[in-house]
Chains A and B, each alone.
Chain A
């Protein structure tokens, strides 16, 4: 039973990846189409162009929803097969983590039109899932006693949720930087290869979006930090011991606190704070990959 379920899970995951791949292509084509439709540089300085009904992007969006449903099924089956939450090793972290990134993306799209992030989201998710499925796949094994705690459910889930928000914040900040570059070029009546950004919100709007998502991520991360400390106290007898993973959780928290401050510091709002948001997410990814794989510490037994 367990074996067939986990095989179906793998099958569903590969199908989801195939669908994401198509969505990625369509999202990217849609962005590129924006470029060809760009008016001559300088003609339309900083105008926010309201996204018109874009067929490609809508199809891509629908595919993303289907991919999400398949990935959700894959993750669920993995969890049922293991009779525990599906986030106890690298492979499962990647599966659940990317699922949540897509979920946050879809959710945010209900509120604001962010289809222009579709390329980034499906691209990132494909990359992570590809790595996880090919390099870090492990058969289902039971949880070691140290991980048998409802804190695994809470702490890791909230951390992953925060990651989803940080990921979108990263993408928006990147777009913001490029948009700023384009706006400067347009203002100086120079040619720019960033014409595909014409249809995106202007840099200030992008920054506001990024900020709003990142503060949600930051609150969730603060909770992760506290929940992690409570769990560490139960499992290891101390709430904080500067274990490698704890160090990186702290570093990430501090960078984002810096980001929030930067937004309020004259001379730092805009480009510089966008860089901080991107460094913050780089640290998140580093924490998830390099720290998990190469650094030793108490968290190491969470398994590759």
Chain B
């Protein structure tokens, strides 16, 4: 009996003699063919799948550059000896490493090599008739029989054909002449052969092709998209252009001409913290950013962004990833002229939002001055006299500034982070271990800078948010292929594929005997039930049921 197209080591394929596989005189073509057979065998697919699972493990044990770059730096600091060795093996980039890629690429080549011939075979099977009825139905795994009086063989067969059709079987008729000799002589029979569940194979093929689709969509997606970050404080606006991002990671094929210009202004940011539940005082409950967006040439729109509710605008997605405080600070020189006034984003250092920020004043004062500030939304004093924040909301805000004077190192053309101050060439004028204590402010206060440099005023506090702006043009495709895979999987795992036969023979007493038999193709827990159901339906169709 012809089988489904399956790799030769599939459990339903006829075993082959392994001795013949490796033949020293194969020649190049022979070897290639042998290699291909091995690559597209079930065993290889299985081993590659298991290998892939194992290869994914190290990425969860060692920090990855893609998801946790700080963790990687920390790892290098903590394990000075082993980290470079691990790096040699791409252990910090497991999922883009040569070895991980090799495994999944081989797996997908194997998959394609396996699935293509099966697709061809399946398309042919979809057009073919069900196979000839086997001679001896009793031997099949599921079998039922009934004897009917008062109906002709043709009537019974026609009823069987209709029942099978109604159950969505594809049906063909094959008649068998009496055969054999002596005792083994079989009677003449008229039969129908039926098959159903072609969708099982279709589903399986859809599933495997969809996986290829996912891989391709994921592979290309990274290439055409981009990801950028930008922090803005209340009242500040951001324009979607390359220079406006604090950091920007374009995909390999990304073209900045594709950036649709739009602006996002942060109108208001609201954070709600738990106040009642004594087990969770100060735990964030809600973050909402109210923004005004405007696409060039269109009317401005008021919108909100929440943690689980990104803003979709002009083909990009804008996510609310972080937030913090931006104290507004004004610096005046000795004569009282304003040399700096702005809100400065301070980075949160703990869950009560003790925040750290830096202000650089290259011009306007007698010397270059750098300020390192700590901001405490609700200040409290520890035993050692050090301040800390005891609640994330603004209840008793306090700002402290350490003052450095000297060379900010901005003139050498080396890019400097706005969040870090290089104090190598500077003298500390105020702060710990300096001639004078840190400058300390409540809102609205002004404090003199050391050495008569001028003064600093703490005008107030705004909230800032950090936004992630992404574009991934293929992520919709990834979703479509994933859902197709799921659908294919459901079809292929739960639709049984089976063959059924009904053979009708005339008995010498004028009655006829109908034999029903079934054969599963693939896992089919309900075969017996189906054969008995067929028999029952046949009885009913012939009007024979007693009830």
Instruction: Give the shortest distance, in Å, between A139 (CB) and chain B (any CB).
Output: 4
Q: Measured between alpha carbons, how far is A299 from B42 in the docked complex, in Å?
A: 35
Instruction: Give the shortest distance, in Å, between A6 (CB) and chain B (any CB).
Output: 10
Q: Measured between alpha carbons, how far is A276 from B50 in the docked complex, in Å?
A: 9
Q: Is B459 an interface residue (CB 8 A)?
A: no
Instruction: Give the shortest distance, in Å, between B492 (CB) and chain A (any CB).
Output: 10
Task: Provide the residues of chain B in CB contact with A251, threshold 8 Å.
Answer: 53, 56-57
Stretch binding the partner chain, chosen from A40-48, A185-193, A239-247:
A239-247
Q: Which A137-158 residues have C-beta < 8 A from chain B? A: 138-146, 148-149, 151
Cβ of B64 and Cβ of A145 under 8 Å apart? no
Given contacts A237-B310, A238-B470, A242-B67, are A145 and B286 in contact (CB under 8 A)? Answer: yes
Instruction: Give the shortest distance, in Å, between B177 (CB) and chain A (any CB).
Output: 38
Q: Is B52 an interface residue (CB 8 A)?
A: yes
B7 to A, closest residue via Cβ: A265
Q: Is B309 an interface residue (CB 8 A)?
A: yes
Q: Is A135 an interface residue (CB 8 A)?
A: no
Task: Provide the residues of chain B in CB contact with A231, threshold 8 Å.
Answer: 308
Q: Measured between alpha carbons, how far is A262 from B42 in the docked complex, in Å?
A: 8
**A-B CB contact pairs (8 Å), 12 listed:** A151-B308, A218-B493, A219-B490, A225-B482, A247-B60, A254-B53, A258-B49, A261-B45, A264-B6, A264-B11, A266-B11, A269-B11
Contact residues on B (Cβ < 8 Å of other chain), bracket: 35 or more
Q: Is A257 an interface residue (CB 8 A)?
A: yes
Q: Measured between alpha carbons, how far is A223 from B277 in the docked complex, in Å?
A: 35
Interface string of A256-279 (1 = CB under 8 A from B): 011001111111110000001000
Given contacts A141-B279, A142-B274, are A266 and B13 in contact (CB under 8 A)? Answer: yes
Cβ of B46 and Cβ of A268 under 8 Å apart? yes
Chain B interface (Cβ < 8 Å from any Cβ of A): 6, 9-13, 15, 42-43, 45-46, 49-50, 52-53, 56-57, 59-60, 64, 66-68, 71, 94-95, 218, 227, 274, 277, 279-280, 283-287, 306-310, 317, 319, 321, 468, 470, 472, 475, 478-479, 482-483, 485-486, 489-490, 493-494, 523, 525
Cβ of A140 and Cβ of B279 under 8 Å apart? yes
Top-7 shortest CB links A-B: A141-B280, A139-B279, A237-B319, A145-B307, A254-B53, A149-B308, A265-B42
Task: Provide the residues of chain B in CB contact with A54, threshold 8 Å.
Answer: none
Q: Is A124 an interface residue (CB 8 A)?
A: no
Cβ of A226 and Cβ of B482 under 8 Å apart? yes
Task: Provide the residues of chain B in CB contact with A149, threshold 8 Å.
Answer: 308
Cβ of B53 and Cβ of A258 under 8 Å apart? yes
Instruction: Give the shortest distance, in Å, between A202 (CB) and chain B (any CB).
Output: 16
Instruction: Give the shortest distance, in Å, between A204 (CB) and chain B (any CB).
Output: 12
Q: Measured between alpha carbons, how far is A261 from B110 in the docked complex, in Å?
A: 13
Cβ of A237 and Cβ of B321 under 8 Å apart? yes
Cβ of B49 and Cβ of A257 under 8 Å apart? yes
Cβ of B286 and Cβ of A264 under 8 Å apart? no
Q: Is A15 an interface residue (CB 8 A)?
A: no
Stretch binding the partner chain, chosen from A59-67, A92-100, A164-172, A208-216:
A208-216
A225 to B, closest residue via Cβ: B482
Task: Provide the residues of chain B in CB contact with A120, threshold 8 Å.
Answer: none
Q: Measured between alpha carbons, how far is A139 from B280 in the docked complex, in Å?
A: 9
Task: Provide the residues of chain B in CB contact with A139, threshold 8 Å.
Answer: 277, 279-280
Given contacts A255-B53, A261-B42, are A235 and B523 in contact (CB under 8 A)? Answer: no
Q: A255-B53, A261-B45, A264-B11 are in contact. List 10 more A-B contacts (CB 8 A).
A: A139-B279, A218-B489, A241-B67, A251-B56, A257-B49, A258-B50, A264-B6, A264-B12, A291-B60, A296-B68
